[in-house]
Amino acid sequence: MRILHINSHDASGGAARAAMRLHLALLGQGIPSRMFVENRQSSDIEGILEFKVPGNPSRMYWQILKKTMSRPILRAQKASREIYDVFTDDRSPCGKAVLKQLPEHDIINLHWIAGFIDYRDFFSCNRKRPIIWTLHDMNPFTGGCHYTNGCDNFTRQCGTCPQLNSSNPHDLSRRIWRRKQSSFTNIEPGRLHIVTPSEWLAREATRSSLMGRFPISCIPNCVDTNTYSPRDRSAARIALGIPTDARVLLFVAASLDNRRKGFKKLLAVLEKLDSLTDLYLISLGKTGAGTLRHSSHLNLGNVSSDRLLALVYNAADCFVIPSSEDNLPNTVLEAMSCGTPVAGFAVGGIPEMVASGSTGILAEHGDIVGLSNAVRTILTQKTLRETMSRACREAVLKEYTPELQAHRYLELYRQMGGGF
């Protein structure tokens, strides 16, 4: 049984990392698995195939064509007061060219396909073989947003999109929603199976008007527990040039400007922690925030190396995740696998990972005082922190190993008509 994963990237972004880890987990179990991507960044991983631009245009020309198709979204976002998160179309200039390049397979496992897979072309031409779609956010069942920020239009039909600052019921989000509806109409429920890493996302997909009729399973992401493992904290700090006696707080996001990820909320938390004069913040993500008034701050930009990431997690006393919405963040798994307790808001799939009081402390969404107290408790109570550290590692080894994830997916592949 040959498994083909399709994702826009192989290394860039949380969905790509999650898809790659599943691919490697299957290979580790001797399952023929390949990954087909639009943009390949890795060079030393087995089974990664890159989409080849048809004809003679350069890849740069192809990207310009994609940006041209995205102009309606860019125009709509300019009218918005503040961009909450990424917003994408269901169309792609790749069109049917993708279908012609797909390697031999028995089951397709879709992942994050925005900008790569054209919904209409893909689902109209790929009618026979079973498809599993691992959702990494809400985009497949919305009119373009990847997280709704509390909007429930997706349960009916999108329009008057708050993320586009739109009062028009027939706006861009409605047009995208209708195209997706048309693409899904002829799919037999038994041929498409939805997988969500979190129970929270499963509930949202069930509520959606586009995907509620398809079967949905919850299979958590995994993490490489050998690479992401507890290491000597002092040695990690020395390697990073961080004071060994500081109270180290870690924040990770692709971009510090992503409002959903909550860096501005973190700044408010730091205001409440002013009395901790030895507090040291490490942040990962582009667009450095500059010098913070109430703590020392090291911004490492975007880090893709797993070994360096593991070093950073091991240097921290506490990992903070002030997201307003999130699925099942890789960052939380990585932190816990390294034995680093987590402080955050109880939103999305985070409470499914973090047992408040055991592997970290969670506050209600938006409760800055509550999150500040959670961070303070973890940073200042050494015995509790060490107990939480051990519990974090145990929780990951129990629920989030590559072997467990591969086994769970193999069971689903068998149900979809595969035999191993």
* CATH number, residue 175: 3.40.50
Alpha carbons 203 and 41: distance in angstroms, whole number = 33
Report yes or no on 41 lying in a domain.
Answer: yes
* Residues 296, 410 within the same domain: no
Residue 94: pLDDT band (50, 70, 90) is confident
Residue 292: pLDDT band (50, 70, 90) is low
Range 66-80 average pLDDT: 57
Report yes or no on 242 lying in a domain.
Answer: yes
87 bridge partner residues: 145
User: Residue 99: its pLDDT value, please?
Assistant: 85
* Residues 209, 243 within the same domain: no
Q: How far is CA 2 from its chain centroid? A: 25
Alpha carbons 243 and 278: distance in angstroms, whole number = 9
Residue 67: pLDDT band (50, 70, 90) is low
* Residues 165, 284 within the same domain: no
For the chain, what percent of residues have pLDDT higher than 70? Answer: 89
pLDDT over threshold 50, residue 291: no
User: Residue 113: its pLDDT value, please?
Assistant: 95
Average pLDDT over the chain reads 90
Copy the structure tokens of residue 45.
């991983």
Q: Exposure string (b/e) for 133-171, b if CB count within 10 Å is 16 or more?
A: bbbbbbbbbbbbbbbbeebebbbeebbbbbbbebeeeeb
* Residues 122, 209 within the same domain: yes
Radius of gyration from C-alpha coordinates of the chain: 21
pLDDT over threshold 60, residue 364: yes
* Residues 387, 270 within the same domain: yes
User: Under a CB-based contact definition with an 8 Å cutoff, are residues 197 and 134 in contact?
Assistant: yes
Exposed (0-12), middle (13-18) or buried (19+): which is 79, by Cβ within 10 Å?
Answer: exposed
User: Coil, strand or helix: which one is 344?
Assistant: strand
User: Under a CB-based contact definition with an 8 Å cutoff, are residues 338 and 230 in contact?
Assistant: yes
Amino acid letter, 410: L
- Who contacts 148 (Cβ-Cβ below 8 Å, separation ≥6)? 138, 142, 154, 325
* Residues 180, 239 within the same domain: no
User: Residue 52: its pLDDT value, please?
Assistant: 86
* Residues 173, 241 within the same domain: no
Alpha carbons 207 and 204: distance in angstroms, whole number = 5
DSSP code string of 381-395: -HHHHHHHHHHHHHH
User: How many CB atoms sit inside 10 A of residue 341's CB?
Assistant: 28
Which range marks the domain in which residue 354 is found?
A: 233-399
Alpha helix positions (H), 227-340: 233-240, 263-272, 306-315, 330-337
* Residues 253, 137 within the same domain: no
* Residues 274, 344 within the same domain: yes
* Residues 111, 212 within the same domain: yes
Indicate the Cα dihedral angle 62, 63, 64, 70, nearest 10°. Answer: 120
User: Under a CB-based contact definition with an 8 Å cutoff, are residues 301 and 285 in contact?
Assistant: yes
In sign, the C-alpha dihedral spanning 324, 71, 255, 138 is: positive
Copy the structure tokens of residue 121.
């072309």
**What is the Cβ-side half-sphere exposure of residue 314, based on CA atoms within 13 angstroms?**
21
pLDDT over threshold 90, residue 366: yes
